Chains A and B, each alone.
Chain A
Amino acid sequence: MRHRKTVHKINKQPAHRRALLRNLLTSFFKHERVITTRAKAKAAQRIAERLIRYAISGTLADKRRIISYLRERDVAHKLIRLGQENFAKREHRGGFTAVYKYGFRKGDGAEMAILTLLTEEIPKDKKKRKKKVAEPEVIEAVETPAEETPVETAPAEETTPEATTESVAEETPETETVSEETATAEQKVEAESAEETEEKPEQSAEETPEPEGAEGEQAPEKSQSEGEEGESEKEKE
């Protein structure tokens, strides 16, 4: 529960915290962008939005609030000008700042973030492009191994039965008598032709499993990608 946790304490006593945030916010409005830890950025963002609201309203009291908070008078006036000229003309009434997460600090591994003043409006609609780009890459990646695997397995399976039949065909004529030479010759011819016929379907068999396997594995991918599209559409809705 987030109850009764309205203050971002950032592990500091109130006076320390207030001083730190005043300094941070002064440099923030001065440079319009500050890189700090994520916790400090989040704490400062809240106050920044409040100061911007003061700047937008622009009453004397609100101007004085800004001047009293920020350490530098120039920066305070810059903020008031920005509020009046830029932020007051927006359709939205908040969200003039953004915190982007930006990796981890080397020394202590603290998560860093960029606190930015959004002086230009961000256009909306981005979701469509990302997922359509991702789909073809996935299909290509899985296609190539799918073609290779059936080729390797199919010949290995078919060579073994061929070898067995050959050995049987060779053994049987030797045991039979010489009078049956013609028969053996015929059998040999038959065996050779059988070998040829076996080889031919072998080749065709080598070819056939490739597209079958490829198609068979492409189809579920497509359905998956369609599923992703469906999900993305749901997200849009």
Chain B
Amino acid sequence: MINGSITTNARGEEVIGEGIKFERIRRITGYLVGTVDRFNNAKRAEVRDRVKHSLSL
């Protein structure tokens, strides 16, 4: 259960999720971390650089 509270927006609708960020699980040195916020600066830089590998032979 997320503890988001229901609020009302400008149009009078009930909304939820203000301030709730997406989780981005990434692998660092073999184990997973739920957010890159915890990575040290060097690893953050490395994650930014990562390109995707194509599957063409």
Are chains A and B native binding partners rather than an unrelated pairing?
no
